[in-house]
Structure 1
Amino acid sequence: MAPPSGQIRPGRYLAFFVFIVVLLYTLVFATGDHQAKPKLGIDLQGGTRVTLSARTLDGGTPERESLQQARQIIENRVNGIGVSGTEVVLDGSNIVITVPGDQGEQAKELGQTAQLRFREVVQVVPAETPPAQQPPASEDPGATPPPSTGASTPPTGASTPPTGTSNAPQGRPAPAVAAQPEEEPSQPPTSDPPADDTADDESETAKQIQEAKAVRQAATLVPSEDGTVQADPAAQQAALAALDCSKPDPLVGNDDPDLPLVACDQEGTAKYILTPSFLQGTQISDANSSVNPEGVGYVVTLDFKSEGTRIWADYTTANVGKQAAFVLDTQVVSAPEIREPISGGQTQISGGAGGGFSADEAQSLADILKYGSLPLSFDNSEAETVSATLGLASLEAGLIAGAVGLVLVFLYSIFYYRMLGVLTGLSIVLSGVIVYAVLVLLGRWIGFTLDLAGVAGFIVAIGITADSFVVYFERLKDEMREGRTFRSAVPRAWVRARRTILSADAVMFLAAAVLYVLAVGQVKGFAFTLGMSTVLDLIVVFFVTHPLVALAAKSKFLSSPKMSGLGKVRRTGGSRAETRGRAATKEA
């Protein structure tokens, strides 16, 4: 037989709450790293802040839409790499990435433009030797083998390096004549008087890009497709001489895919003359890293979309024996020889002359290629280490203030409610037990990190939890003022207080949800913890506070006026009941 409305079996409710606590802490200690520690944000544990400065080809201000798109792509890369607690926000024309802990090196790579293009290799020479001193390819075809042969393409092929270059120039100009004109324009800025310090940096960047394109992307670097125009050896040698592999490349993210390109490999040990791009990296459908099955290190495996698969199959069929360079942001990642047509399946990229990437390099490249190229190019990342000293000091001050506030609340509750005040303190402690376990699990499952804003959300939520107790206890006092005993007042007070508690928590949760959707940055953490604490407040009130009050009502000792603190309310309620009885007698 079910109990009357408002009456419950307290033992069942408390047992269910104990089950929840045991389940949560079993997951805490049995999963993940088995450490009961929540993940902390950058303001509590320190970390790295990386600033990416956007740039455009003409040196103008980037469009807001392009910046938003770049921010979203970088955020997707963060999620793919698994860097937890990271913030990606716009600051003018900059994108600021904040990474807690020791994951700053990963964040520096998130701003790569990742414009992968496939180009045919025309010529390759060592970077450390001036091009004018190289013998013509017709005299010694095996003297300049490509230093980065990459993984085989397809993966099952043999790893035979190419023996020469297919379209090497036959002549060479004198080095002083070929190289000097290209270097002269770059000399005045370094020797000008301090007046040049006021020049526009963006204009200077645009000038460098245009100068590099004019030399290293000249149309005469390679023969025309129809064979009517031959390559200009002088232009080739001038472009090779102008390229310095030890310096940052101004063409990163700004090269024209429809023009030839002179580029370095990633190690800076070789220079390549490449044809216009025949396949774009946007045709990649998936990218993953794995152990190199035919050598040392790791490789990146690419899957193409339907159109990309067709283009790649046609190219490999018509160019067996030639090299195809995988060019990432104007750097040759790998230049393997095509040993047989690839009609479908996967293609591998390996890095460097050693035949493979490291595990971190392969995973980073795969993630960048998988989550798309940025619509803008960015200057080199500027990273700064953020100390947690200030955040920890603020946290310590906040915890001290919160502890003092809780002690005052407990003292006032005990003074005003006595035994009910003790139940209030116990309920808040048990609420903290659940909150801590949930924080640890959310940090593992969804990467939630606790920062100062989140701590503020929890402190505010304590007031919401205490307010629920006050609503219940005051309703209980109202019932006793009507002349009911403590035991009979508990179920009736709960029925009426329950509606108020649910309504108040629903409004608070709705406000937290709206704030979470509309807010950015740390405000989201405040909204999240506030909403989560509101939900956990209902669990504590329903499965702890109400059952404990019901148990106290059944105990003669705990329900005595001296212990409950409701003796004055009882006397007032009894006097009012007696007065109403006398009034009714007189009327009769």
Structure 2
Amino acid sequence: MATTTRRERPVRPLVTLALLVIGLVAALVAGERWSDASLTPQLALDLEGGTEVILRPVATTGEDVTDAAIAQAIDIIRQRVDASGVAEAEITSQGGSNIVVGLPGTPSEETLRLVKESAQLVFRPVLVVANPEPYDPTAVADPTVPTDDAAVGDGATDEGATGTEDGAGTADQVSKAATGEGDGGSGDSGSGDSATPANPSDLSWLTADLTTQLNELDCTDPANLVGGASRVGDPNAGFVTCAVDGTAKYALGPVEITGDLVSSASSGLRVTAQGAITNERVVNLEFNSEGTRIFADTTERLLSLEAPRNQFAIVLDGLVISAPQVNSVIPDGGAEISGNFTTAAANTLARQLNFGSLPLTFEVQSEEQISATLGDEQLQRGLLAGLIGLILVGLYSLGQYRALGFVTIASLVVAGALAFLTITVLSWVQGYRLSLPGVAGLIVAIGITADSFIVYFERIKDELREGRPLAAAVDAGWSRAKRTILASDAVSLLAAVVLYFLAVGGVRGFAFTLGLTTVIDLIIVFLFTHPVMLLLSRRRFFAEGHRFSGLDPSLLGARSRYVGRGKVREPEPAAGAPQPVAAGVGDWMTIAERKAAQRAAAGEHAQAEGKDA
């Protein structure tokens, strides 16, 4: 039974590649006009310069700072910087006593603050919430307490405290609580300064001194909204501080949970008990085993208290970043913080909870702008090296494959354009920055990409030596070459992935560009090089094996081939090509034997012409 083969349509993959390139260009042009995109990639610290911050770590326990503590601090700072979207930052230890943080370009104030934060993350119970302005107890009117919209629970849906009727709602009640005149609620000793607090939520923590501090604290003053080691407070005593945005001030009980007990935190959309996804942003919080036990006891106690003492404050670097109320006992260590979160606010809170437990506080020794360590000159030299490599590969391709070498050059140009556009888009969308090791990865990729073309072309030449016509040789050569190309690129991609996750600093930049260009190599070979070869195989110049096409069967040492029904196809040499001398009809010769036979045939031809003359 006769079989039919599906005819390949080379135009379709070429159109797909063209649409991909046009889409990237259109995205960049639109981003430059209506957003903050640039038509060139952002450069890393070694090529552009940036900001350098030198931090001196100070142990919160007063002990000497160990190398292990500094290493842990560097790891967490690196995670914070990466999570903030800044790529190619350099974070190193200096002399075993300082931490040097180099941020490329002009980092935002939020990023700089994230680096400098001591990040002592703790959970304290809320005793009192008050308006941010200072309070004069002799004033006639009492300022009402602002509310906190966040809630926490397994499936919390309620909002936070909504007014002064639910609990300690006025500054006058602050004074009453401090002197034991309030109703106290569950677990209160209600006896003022002389009483021993029964639990962290006991209003006995609110001493007269603490009340005075709360009344005098002005959270509208920006100076009081700067966190630091001096604002962390005594973990075993009551504490007065501001909300990080300055909208409220808090009197808090002692620390119940420290940041190192937080296992993980993530933000996302709320999922109901029935599995439905809502549009409400929440932050999911997980504790380790010890944190789970403590948090279960804490939520059980807070659930029975009135507002605002049914809230716990999440305090980062001495400022309250969130104060959700407890809606249910949480025995499994998995809490869901809900409220009027925006996407950015939920992501920020999750990031702070994830990376908020540094073992040290920091003193900023210096902060200064630094120039590029390599600068434009080194970048130009790197690009020049890449251009020279590209030219050498092109010359080799033209010498080895003649006209077919132009396919190699065109493929490399398209691959370079696609790599440039991809890196530029990543710089805009993901904050990626190109470093000198990244440039080295791009240069190495020239050889990887050219290797794929060589494998493909050599397979085609092997098929031509077997006596197949060019169209059949392209099909058969592609079916064999693509397996080799896929295997080779898979190894390169695997090496790049392993190197990226195991390395740090500039080496990751090299691994990233190496992996990216490996993927681009596959795209180019499948969507450009092979379709172009299919189109060229239909052109007379290549199909008939012109001597300058690089696909002349006679120059390749093609042999006769049995084609069925007792017929043998002999290769037809191109016009003007020297006739190779075969060892016998149908005999197979090595490359060296074929070249020797060609030289001998050319010599005999020259001698014959001399005799005729």
Normalised TM-score (structure 2) = 0.62
> CA–CA distance in 2 between the matches of 1:322 and 1:579?
100
- Structure 1 residues 257, 576: closer, same or farther in 2, change over 3 A? same
Amino acid at match of 1:435: A
Q: Could you tell me which residue of structure 1 aligns to residue 114 of structure 2?
A: 110
Q: Which moved more, 1:451-460 or 1:26-35?
A: 26-35
| 1:157 matched to 2:162 | yes
Q: Could you tell me which residue of structure 1 aligns to residue 381 of structure 2?
A: 397
Corresponding residue to 2:506 among 522, 526, 540: 522
Q: Could you tell me which residue of structure 2 aligns to residue 40 of structure 1?
A: 42
Amino acid at match of 1:224: T
Q: Could you tell me which residue of structure 2 aligns to residue 13 of structure 1?
A: 10
1:302-451 correspondence to structure 2 within 5 Å: 308=295, 311=298, 314-315=301-302, 318=305, 326=313, 328=315, 331=318, 333=320, 366-367=349-350, 369-381=352-364, 382-387=366-371, 390-443=374-427, 447-451=431-435
Deviations 1:260-286 (A, max 9, x none): 447688799999986534676768997
> CA–CA distance in 1 between the matches of 2:67 and 2:449?
43
User: Displacement of 1:464 after TM fit?
Assistant: 1.5
Number of equivalences: 503
Give the RMSD, CA atoms, in angstroms.
5.7
- Structure 1 residues 3, 251: closer, same or farther in 2, change over 3 A? same
Deviations 1:399-440 (A, max 9, x none): 223223323332343244221111111111222233334334
- Preserved CA contact (<8 Å) 1:24 1:438: no
Q: Could you tell me which residue of structure 1 aligns to residue 610 of structure 2?
A: none
User: Displacement of 1:524 after TM fit?
Assistant: 1.6
- Preserved CA contact (<8 Å) 2:401 2:549: yes
- Structure 1 residues 463, 123: closer, same or farther in 2, change over 3 A? closer
User: Displacement of 1:19 after TM fit?
Assistant: 1.1
> CA–CA distance in 1 between the matches of 2:31 and 2:205?
64
- Preserved CA contact (<8 Å) 1:28 1:34: no
User: Displacement of 1:460 after TM fit?
Assistant: 0.8
Amino acid at match of 2:361: F
- Structure 1 residues 319, 412: closer, same or farther in 2, change over 3 A? closer
> CA–CA distance in 1 between the matches of 2:474 and 2:457?
9
> CA–CA distance in 1 between the matches of 2:109 and 2:74?
18
Corresponding residue to 1:225 among 197, 201, 217: 197
User: Structure 1: which 5+ runs fail to align?
Assistant: 171-219, 290-299, 351-356
- Structure 1 residues 438, 12: closer, same or farther in 2, change over 3 A? farther
1:47-446 correspondence to structure 2 within 5 Å: 47-63=50-66, 66-67=69-70, 69-71=72-74, 73-75=76-78, 77-78=80-81, 81=84, 83-85=85-87, 87=89, 89-91=91-93, 92=96, 96-111=100-115, 112=117, 113-118=119-124, 140=138, 142=139, 151=148, 155=160, 157-158=162-163, 161-163=170-172, 165-166=175-176, 223-225=195-197, 251-252=229-230, 255-261=233-239, 275-277=253-255, 308=295, 311=298, 314-315=301-302, 318=305, 326=313, 328=315, 331=318, 333=320, 366-367=349-350, 369-381=352-364, 382-387=366-371, 390-443=374-427
Q: Which moved more, 1:472-481 or 1:404-413?
A: 472-481
> CA–CA distance in 1 between the matches of 2:469 and 2:308?
97
Deviations 1:137-163 (A, max 9, x none): 7xx5x5997899564896462366422
Amino acid at match of 1:457: G
User: Displacement of 1:93 after TM fit?
Assistant: 5.7
Normalised TM-score (structure 1) = 0.64
- Preserved CA contact (<8 Å) 1:266 1:332: yes
Q: Could you tell me which residue of structure 1 aligns to residue 277 of structure 2?
A: none
- Structure 1 residues 527, 373: closer, same or farther in 2, change over 3 A? closer
> CA–CA distance in 2 between the matches of 1:360 and 1:427?
42
- Preserved CA contact (<8 Å) 1:480 1:489: yes
User: Displacement of 1:90 after TM fit?
Assistant: 4.8
- Structure 1 residues 93, 238: closer, same or farther in 2, change over 3 A? farther
- Structure 1 residues 26, 57: closer, same or farther in 2, change over 3 A? closer
- Structure 1 residues 144, 548: closer, same or farther in 2, change over 3 A? same
> CA–CA distance in 2 between the matches of 1:13 and 1:499?
19
Deviations 1:334-384 (A, max 9, x none): 999x9xx9778999999xxxxxx9x99967973554325314132144543
- The higher relative CO (CA closer than 8 Å, separation ≥ 6) is in 1
Deviations 1:119-150 (A, max 9, x none): 56699999999xxxx9xx7xx5x599789956
- Structure 1 residues 166, 117: closer, same or farther in 2, change over 3 A? farther
> CA–CA distance in 1 between the matches of 2:532 and 2:282?
61
SS at match of 2:517: helix
SS at match of 1:554: coil
> CA–CA distance in 2 between the matches of 1:491 and 1:347?
60
> CA–CA distance in 2 between the matches of 1:24 and 1:222?
75
- Structure 1 residues 557, 569: closer, same or farther in 2, change over 3 A? same
Amino acid at match of 2:495: A
- Preserved CA contact (<8 Å) 2:130 2:146: no
Percent identical pairs in the alignment equals 31
Q: Which structure carries more helix by proportion?
A: 1
